Structure 1
Amino acid sequence: MFTTASELRPPNLDPTPLFELFRGSYATELLTAAVAHFQLFELLGNASLTASALQQRLQLERRPFLVLTTALRAMQLLEVNEGQYQLTQLAREHLLRGGAHYVGDYIGLAAASPGVNEMVARLRTNRPANAAADDGGAAFIYREGLESAMEREASARHLTLALAGRAHNVAPHLARVLDLSKARCVLDVGGGTGLYSIALLQQNPHLQAIVFDRPEVLKIAAEFATQYGVIDRLTCTPGDMFADELPASADVILLSNILHDWDEPQCAQLVERCASVLPAGGQLLIHDVFLNDDLAGPLPIALYSAALFTLTEGRAYSADEYCQWLKAAGLHPAAVQHTLIHCGVIVGSKLA
């Protein structure tokens, strides 16, 4: 049951620490995988390696390699100097076998735990959990040939409402950060619950919104739009954001926590698709989390990246990576504006 509410309001207390605690298990899994399964520290014990050489030695594809090494760099166990990966002093003293203060065997006590084994499987296969249809289907991925839990009514409702917990906190912040006083209509691609659109509508009474997503998910968006009193200004349009034509009536397009579900080629493709339907003067809003541009942290985002990697075909990206996709699509990105729970927004403008 939904609680009665007329306005989306920011929380009194910042819930970010709860999200960091929740994602903390990924630190154990990645560290144990590196120590006990990939022997990564032994690989770098006697010599530094380039990214391509280390990736080859670990036998990992690009996405799992970046997820693992970004986390280890954020943990201050790896560093990159002049393009060479090498151990930090902390790792060299405590994670090289045979050292007087070696703790690798202690960490290895978790080597056979289900979470670590699952992470190792994900890293080695570069496939999300439950990717096979007989395992229940991947949770957040829509792609031909891959079963998605978001296509089934019960699982789609459960997962969408679970994600609403973060959106209820972050959406009001996003609405207050953005200046949409000159906008007419926002297209919320993969908008899910519609809460980000709803917050924008409440903040901008002149605005219209279109939430573009899968049919089962849109049922919840319509319920929230009714609850928050904006159903007369919010349209739910079903479709596949990679295959179907995007509505061309919007002058602002929102991708909120969408691109991190996809690998780099799909991100570039979706940014290009959105940019192609924007009018001159239109804006593409990328609202997401951001790694540092050097992909060395921060640790909370590196661990969230591991969560995304485990559940989707994506990972966390840096602001620089997003800006490169925006520029390639002919848009001009502005600086990140921060919202809440590690999120921020980059506005990419299509000049006249």
Structure 2
Amino acid sequence: MITEAHTGTSTGDPRPSLLIDLATGLWKTQTLTAAIETGVFETLAAGAASAPQLAVKLGIGERPAEILLTACTALGLLEQQDGRYCNTAVSDHYLVPGRPDYFGGYVQMVAQYTAPGWLRATEAVRSDAPTKPVPDPDRNMFEEGNRPESFWDALFAFSTLTARQMAGAVDLSGVRRIMDVGGGAGATLIELCRQHPHLSGTVVDLPHVCALAQERIDAAGMTGRIDTAAADFFADPLPSGHDAILLSMILHDWDENQNRQILASCLDALPSGGTLLISELLVDDDKSGPVDAALMSMNMLVGTWGRNYTGAEYAGWLREAGCDRVRTVRFDSPGANGVVRGEKA
């Protein structure tokens, strides 16, 4: 006999829980965003408080305060005891402004910058074109003024956490000087150099991004170990003098032909025996997942002309471009699940 314990219904129909969770996913992200933007976690970092007390401190009504706090508690963002709320360990570590791993900027960037394109995902699927609004769709999406400056700061914590895991998984003992192409505000290279004291390197990006990176490099005490070089990797030759080049969460932004062009430019800048590293959320070779890589690929569909590729695709491009000893190193992090590496023949 088929029972409710096995199927969730007395008729034998499958449970709709998956569909409900997917359909209401926006509710969770917007609850988190509202809590960040009203200052819930920042306020509770100073100590536990009741809903009426928080309402006064946040400058909101008691009704929305109670609703928001209840939702945050149900989602595991807050804890409640005897009517008083406090941050969970995750919220206290990642959602209090000023903390080293503050993640709130990334959450807000997703809500404000990424979400509008996602709300037109069906259009992106039907048109095979980005639906995320940009001021000038005829210009490079990363050019100054075509992407909010907050984008780079928002990705800093995200990239730092990814680089922290990458540093422990990828053997960089033979690398002395590394170039991070499309390195943004420098988070990845700063963290790699922090974890590997023998490393130095260069962040390569567009001029306005290099200015942001220099500020972060100086603040991290890495002046002298890490420098910057302004370049457009589609138009300008990359600097020489490095024995490794990293492309971290870069190639998913572009189509296959553009990626081959980027790889060729990188290899032109490497000496024979130099290492090329591609760090990405890799799609499974059979294209069945994993979920984070598959959804990031959807994010590329609504925002760029790229997608997330498989490890086998990257490995094939590296071999065709003239690399040998190509292999994939797996790890678990927010922004990447592996590095495909090859050596220039």
Judge conservation of contact 2:281–2:292 (CA < 8 Å) in 1: no
TM-score, scaled to structure 1: 0.61
2:341 is aligned with 1:347: yes
Q: Identity percentage over the alignment?
A: 36
Deviations 1:137-182 (A, max 9, x none): 46xxxxxx425364129x4421111111311211111122222222
Q: Residue in 2 aligned with 1:125? A: 127
- Structure 1 regions of 5+ residues with no counterpart? 1-19, 26-113, 139-144
> Against the structure 1 CA distance between its residues 320 and 24, is the aligned structure 2 distance closer, same or farther, given a 3 Å change threshold?
farther
Distance 1:116 1:185, change over 3 A: closer
User: Are positions 1:207 and 2:199 aligned together?
Assistant: yes
Q: Distance in 2 between matches of 1:295 and 1:182?
A: 33
Q: In the TM superposition, what are the counterparts of 1:238-257 in structure 2 within 5 Å?
A: 238-257=230-249
Q: C-alpha displacement at 1:202, in angstroms?
A: 1.6
> Is contact 2:245-2:277 (8 Å) kept?
yes
For residue 276 of structure 2, give the secondary structure of its aligned residue in structure 1: strand
Matches of 2:230 and 2:117, distance apart in 1: 36
Q: Identify the match of residue 330 of structure 1 among 310, 322, 325.
A: 322
User: What are the Cα deviations for residues 87-131 of structure 1, in whole angstroms up to 9, with x where unaligned?
Assistant: xxxxxxxxxxxxxxxxxxxxxxxxxxx878711221222221246
Which residue matches 1:146?
139
Aligned residues: 234
Task: Encode CA deviations 1:243-288: one digit per residue, 9 max, x unaligned.
Answer: 1011111110000000000011111221122122211211001000
Letter of the structure 1 residue corresponding to residue 329 of structure 2:
V
In structure 1, distance between residues paired with 2:228 and 2:203? 5
Give CA-to-partner distance per residue, 1:171-221, whole Å, 9 cap, x none. Answer: 111122222222221111000021111112122323221111011111221
- Provide closer, same or farther for how the CA distance between residues 116 and 164 of structure 1 changes in structure 2, counting only shifts above 3 A: closer
1:191 is aligned to 183
* Partner AA of 1:118 in structure 2: R
Structure possessing the higher radius of gyration over alpha carbons: 2
**Distance (Å, rounded) in 2 between the aligned partners of 1:220 and 1:237:** 12
Partners of 2:118 and 2:131 within 8 A in 1:
no
Question: CA 1:117–1:219 in structure 2 vs 1: closer, same or farther (change >3 Å)?
Answer: closer
Q: Matched residues in 1 for 2:294 and 2:339: separation?
A: 18
Matching of residues 14-53 of structure 1 within 5 Å: none
Q: 1:245 to 1:318 in 2, by over 3 A?
A: same
CA-based RMSD of the aligned residues comes to 2.6
Indicate conservation of the 8 Å contact 1:160/1:193, yes or no: yes
1:157-236 alignment, distance < 5 Å: 157-236=149-228
* Greater length-normalized contact order (CA 8 Å, ≥ 6 residues apart): 1
1:197–1:209 contact (8 Å) kept in structure 2: yes
SS at match of 2:172: coil
C-alpha spacing 1:229/1:170, structure 2 compared with 1 (3 Å): same
Q: 1:299 to 1:202 in 2, by over 3 A?
A: closer
Equivalent residue number for residue 77 of structure 1: none
2:328 counterpart SS class: coil
Q: Distance in 2 between matches of 1:115 and 1:174?
A: 30
TM-score, scaled to structure 2: 0.62
Asked if structure 1 preserves the Cα contact closer than 8 Å seen for 2:284 and 2:290, the reply is yes
Amino acid at match of 2:141: S
**Aligned residue in 1 for 2:135:** 136
Name the CA distance, whole Å, in 1 between partners of 2:199 and 2:339: 19
**For 1:288, which of 280, 292, 297 is the aligned residue?**
280
Which letter maps to 2:139?
A: L
